[in-house]
Amino acid sequence: IQAALDRAAAKAAKGRDVAEVPGNVDVIPLGFVKNMAEYMVAADVLVSKAGPGTIAEAAAVGLPIMVTSHLPGQEAGNVDIVLDGGFGDYCEDPETIALEIACWLQDSQLLDVMSKKAQAVGHPHAAEEIAQDIGDTTHDLMEKKK
């Protein structure tokens, strides 16, 4: 991530603004939707607050994340998961967010690395495995009581 920002700074130092590079970016702001997984699979980058479910879903599909906020205390640790995992960044300033996202979108190699890092952190079958474990444990306990 820092390498992309460094390249952007080098361009700016040469008088070329990253924002002047032509591109084809569709920004689709969404409220609550029931088919978020479909959007995540189709997206190149996710811009979101640090909700644990959102981060887990994004990591499971290898989606780089720009975290823009978090609830104090309960979501602060989720920011660290993204940063330590190397599949995103945290920023609250809209202009800086736009600059960094522009850098990411112009660097397919960086996006690929971030995607692979997200997948390494993600556990796409976690909910199924947890439900299966709870079911197995419940079954075993019921059998012991017979």
Residues 83-121 pLDDT 10s? 999 999 999 999 999 999 989 998 999 999 999 999 999
Q: Which amino acid is it at 51?
A: G
Three-class DSSP category at 70: coil
Distance of alpha carbon 60 from alpha carbon 92, whole angstroms:
24
46-48 vs 88-90, strand pairing mode: unpaired
- The answer to whether the CB of 69 falls within 8 A of the CB of 50 is yes
**Spatial separation of the C-alpha atoms in residues 23 and 33, rounded to whole Å:** 27
Share of the chain above pLDDT 90, in %: 49
> At 33, is the secondary structure helix, strand, or coil?
coil
CB burial readout 56-71, b (16+ within 10 A) else e: bbbbbbbbbbbbbebe
The pLDDT, as a whole number, for residue 82 is: 96
Q: What's the CA gap between 25 and 31, in Å, rounded? A: 19
CB 61 within 8 A of CB 37: yes
Mean pLDDT score, 131-135: 93
Band of pLDDT at residue 3, cut at 50, 70 and 90: low
